[in-house]
Amino acid sequence: MSDLFTIAGKTALVTGGSRGIGLMIARGYVEAGATVYISSRKASVCDEVAAELSAIGTCISLPADLSTEAGCKGLAEELSSRTDRLDILVNNAGATWGTPLMDWDEAAWERVLAVNVKGVFHLTKFLSPLLLATGTQDEPARVINIGSIDGIHVPIMETYAYSASKAAVHQLTRHLARRLAPTVTVNAIAPGPFESKMMAATLDAFGEQIAAGAPLKRIGRPDDVAGTAIYLASRASSYVTGVILPVDGGIATVG
């Protein structure tokens, strides 16, 4: 049992790893002994966070714009030039947008879907040779997609593209899980409310109400999502694939 949950010595890429849930996961992986590459669109922020995390372990900055297929391919090529193995890919980079129904336009939909769905697909596609070369049937490589409980239940906010994109990520997770088995597992975490830049305005306005309405009566903490991501990357989950795992205090499942 001593190594059931260890990820020490593994190599991971966490997209959107410079803030929010991505940073929570990246920090957890670094503290757990993994070599972690983080990617985000803003190079200066990505470099700054990688330097901060390097004080506690190994973290390398690989800035990239994952809203285009070319950006995904460029990140995959850069990573492949630096390492011959990839044990864990965390597709966390995402975007959201909210506006009244009649104000939605094509540009807003495209911004959200480009990163949240197409970016996940293209990056996984381009990195699948590295993942398949790393994983074995006994110790698969891992793809962990970050979905959302908004892809499971109907959110109150008018974030139509975001909720639709996260439901798409959940189905894409299942589809890729079948294609990449048996040497790569593909699972998704569906977070509820966590303190992040994306959730800041919502939590400022409704944080106490959201916490009171959750069966577990609180907002998510960094170790909640980091621990789940470590489980899905460790030997403990080697027989788990195609799963959408809510980490939400029960909001979408028993609320």
Amino acid found at 237: S
Domain map (residue ranges) of the chain: 11-247
Are the C-beta atoms of 63 and 40 separated by less than 8 Å? yes
Question: Under CATH, which number does the domain 11-247 receive?
Answer: 3.40.50.720
pLDDT of residue 156: 85
User: pLDDT digit string (tens) for 9-42?
Assistant: 999 999 999 999 999 999 999 999 999 999 999 9
- pLDDT bracket for residue 255 (50, 70, 90): low
The residue written with tokens 């044990």 in the block is 87
pLDDT value for 149: 96
Alpha-carbon Rg for the chain in angstroms = 17
Q: Which of 84, 82, 35 is nearest to 59 (CA)?
A: 35
Interval 163-173: pLDDT, tens: 999 999 999 99
Catalytic residue among 37, 162, 231, 239: 162
Q: Comparing C-alpha atoms, which of 110, 95, 126 is closest to residue 13?
A: 126
**Is residue 17 within 8 Å of 196, Cβ to Cβ?**
no
* 3 state SS of 199: coil
pLDDT, tens digit, for every residue of 110-161? 999 999 999 999 999 999 999 999 999 999 999 999 999 999 999 888 999 9
Angle formed by the axes of helices 69-82 and 120-134, to 10°? 20
Q: Dihedral sign for Cα 106, 112, 115, 120, please.
A: negative
- E-strand ranges in the chain read 11-15, 35-39, 58-61, 88-91, 141-146, 184-191, 244-247
Query: Are 18 and 45 in contact, with CB atoms under 8 Å apart?
Result: yes
Q: Is 162 a catalytic residue?
A: yes
Which phi and psi angles does 190 have, rounded to 5°? -110, 90
